[in-house]
Amino acid sequence: MSDILIKRNHMEIPWHNYVSTRNSQPITEASLSEKASLIGRTGMMLLSCGTGAWRVRSSMNTLSEALGITCSADIGLMSISYTCFDGESSFSHALSLTTTGVNTSRLNRLEHFVSDFPAEGIHMSGEALHSQLDEIERIHGLYSPAALGLASALACGAFTFLLGGGPLEMILAFAGAGIGNAIRCKLGKHHFTLFMCIAVSVSSACLVYAGFLKLAELLFHISVQHEAGYICSMLFIIPGFPFITSGIDLAKLDMRSGLERLAYAIIVVMVAAVSAWLMALLLHLKPVDFLPLELSAAQRILFRLLASFCGVFGFSVMFNSPVRLAAAAAFIGALSNTLRLELVDLAGFPPAAAAFFGALTAGLLASLIKTKVGYPRISITVPSIVIMVPGLYLYRAIYNLGIMSLNVSASWFAAAILIIVALPLGLIFAGSLRTKCSATAPNWHTKRTAFCSFRSSAILLITGAIQKQSFFVHSISLRSHPRSRSFFPSGPQIYGWGEKRPVRHNVFHHPPQNPAHNIQRLLEASSELPS
């Protein structure tokens, strides 16, 4: 009996078969199916990088506008259904991914591909464009499983200190997380299921932590109270990226994508927490409180800055970020996360409120340095606040649920949900502030013009009221400055008494600089009104 060939569940799409035989033909002159295939492939590659539905749709719209067609897309976690129109016919596709993940390096290349397309891509052929996408698609992992294990070890070790752990807990969490994430990467490369990768890696991390703790207890007589750090050794599995992007999608009313991402994140958390809970029962581990650290305020802030930098840097490397991008995200994360922690300790902020201001700070800082580093904003902001995702809260909620401490479990769940909601809200608010400020911030000349206009209008109103009693200034019309969108008075609207249709007298169109001239013009305008 011959061996039966098992086919893949997801068939590969021959994208180059959609390309016209005339390879020199620009994509703008190609058929609708060729244009639609390019748009759909770009959208699917962006979706595979872990970015949200809004950004995927925006990129597809950019390509569609440059190609002179219209695209309508319905985007989920792992699939896209879209239709392209050219005014005469339509072309529909339904595409799906085999798996999901985060790849900020590929996302950066795709963002540049989309941004450069209206100026350069429209002059290229479909074959050349798909060849570029082939090159981008070959960008897989920048790091080996060992390097990713080291990155997770660095992140979780730093995470341990930020949660209150000491040097011993940091060392043990470093070892457990490093081995656990390396195992997860190896299993992922052999295409094991999601549940298997999570369960085995989390169990391995907890086992390594407990084993090293027992060895330290036997050799160095270490207290067993240091067992609390075993939770930190498995926090590399927490799906911070899907949690945050799901909130952003829901805020933008991309309900399908937002709910699917949220469901995916919840599944990952549940499998990881249940696996860690079972290992805790087998190894007799309990999520007790950390032993207090004797640090001054200055020392605490300094160590939090350093730990936050290392933690965000490690998570960024796990997201396949280049070193330069990881360093930029780590710098922002160090400032924003330290601010969050100090707001809780010094100002007494609730954790959710502090998380909001931390995410807000991260979003604003990312907007400032985005032009300097040249990377997509989401590649900087999301990794910088992933460290704020309350993995400890979620695990303690599941643990107490397992031992039937329902009240305690509900408290941890409520605190975790509030923080998870606050993080994307902070990023969204930062994006709104950035857009508003960039649109309304006038330059020096505009500010001076607005001030002169306001001053002149005030003089007109006051002097006119003194000189003439037979008219009444009803309102001041406001017009938008074409450069700054800042509003300032364009001149009073003078209405006559008893007029059914008010007579408008535009005193000036451009603000004069001479107040005496303004007064004279007002007197001339008011003299024309009925007494």
Q: pLDDT grade, residue 361 (50/70/90)?
A: very high
Nearest one of 22, 44, 45, 15 to 130, comparing CA atoms: 15
**Which residue matches tokens 């017009």?**
479
Q: Which residue has the higher pLDDT, 504 or 142?
A: 142
- Mean pLDDT is lowest, of 67-71, 423-427, 428-432, 455-459, for 455-459
- Are the C-beta atoms of 176 and 209 separated by less than 8 Å? yes
pLDDT exceeds 70 at position 133:
yes
Give me 315's structure tokens.
């998570």
Give me 497's structure tokens.
């008494």
> Which residues is 84 bridged to in the sheet?
71, 91
Residues in CB range of 17: below 8 A, 6 or more apart: none
Residues in CB range of 175: below 8 A, 6 or more apart: 153, 208, 209, 212, 233
pLDDT for the residue numbered 493: 37
Give me 67's structure tokens.
């190609």
CA gap 352, 413 in Å, rounded: 12
pLDDT tens readout for residues 192-242: 888 999 999 999 999 999 999 888 888 887 776 778 888 889 989 988 889
pLDDT exceeds 80 at position 511:
no
Nearest one of 373, 371, 375 to 108, comparing CA atoms: 375
pLDDT exceeds 90 at position 4:
no
pLDDT for the residue numbered 271: 93
Torsions phi, psi of 492, nearest 5?
-75, 150
pLDDT for the residue numbered 292: 82
**For the chain, percent of residues with pLDDT exceeding 90:** 38
| CA 231 and chain centroid, separation | 26
Q: pLDDT grade, residue 132 (50/70/90)?
A: very high
Cα dihedral 181, 184, 189, 195 in deg (nearest 10):
-150
- Mean pLDDT is lowest, of 20-29, 70-79, 323-332, for 20-29
Helix (H, G, I), strand (E, B) or coil at 516: helix
pLDDT tens readout for residues 12-61: 788 878 787 656 788 988 889 999 999 999 999 999 998 889 889 999 99
pLDDT tens readout for residues 228-286: 888 889 989 988 889 889 988 998 889 999 999 999 999 999 999 999 999 988 988 88
Q: Taking the alpha carbons of 347, 350, 351, 354 in that order, is the dihedral positive or negative? A: negative
pLDDT for the residue numbered 527: 47
- Mean pLDDT is lowest, of 204-213, 219-228, 322-331, 441-450, for 441-450
pLDDT for the residue numbered 142: 82
pLDDT tens readout for residues 396-415: 898 888 888 889 999 999 99
Helix (H, G, I), strand (E, B) or coil at 377: helix
> Which residues is 81 bridged to in the sheet?
74, 94
pLDDT exceeds 80 at position 490:
no
Give me 384's structure tokens.
């910088």
Q: What single letter denotes the amino acid at residue 508?
A: F
- Mean pLDDT is lowest, of 10-24, 128-142, 177-191, for 10-24
- Are the C-beta atoms of 273 and 399 separated by less than 8 Å? yes
CA gap 460, 505 in Å, rounded: 13
pLDDT exceeds 60 at position 453:
no
Q: pLDDT grade, residue 150 (50/70/90)?
A: very high
Q: What is the mean predicted confidence (pLDDT) over 294-310? A: 92
Nearest one of 19, 72, 68 to 43, comparing CA atoms: 72
pLDDT for the residue numbered 435: 66
pLDDT for the residue numbered 355: 93
pLDDT exceeds 60 at position 485:
no
Helix (H, G, I), strand (E, B) or coil at 494: strand
pLDDT for the residue numbered 468: 39
Give me 137's structure tokens.
């698609």
Q: pLDDT grade, residue 459 (50/70/90)?
A: very low
Torsions phi, psi of 355, nearest 5?
-65, -40
CA gap 172, 165 in Å, rounded: 11
Report the 3 state secondary structure along 146-193: HHHHHHHHHHHHHHHHHCCCCHHHHHHHHHHHHHHHHHHHHHHHCCCC
> Which residues is 91 bridged to in the sheet?
84
Q: pLDDT grade, residue 502 (50/70/90)?
A: very low
What 8-state DSSP symbol labels residue 225?
G
- Are the C-beta atoms of 392 and 231 separated by less than 8 Å? yes
Q: pLDDT grade, residue 522 (50/70/90)?
A: very low
- Predicted structure pTM score: 0.76
By CB atoms closer than 10 A (0-12, 13-18, 19+), residue 123 is exposed
Q: pLDDT grade, residue 290 (50/70/90)?
A: confident
CA gap 351, 421 in Å, rounded: 12
Q: Taking the alpha carbons of 249, 251, 253, 258 in that order, is the dihedral positive or negative? A: positive
Q: What is the mean predicted confidence (pLDDT) over 124-148? A: 88
Give me 518's structure tokens.
């303004």
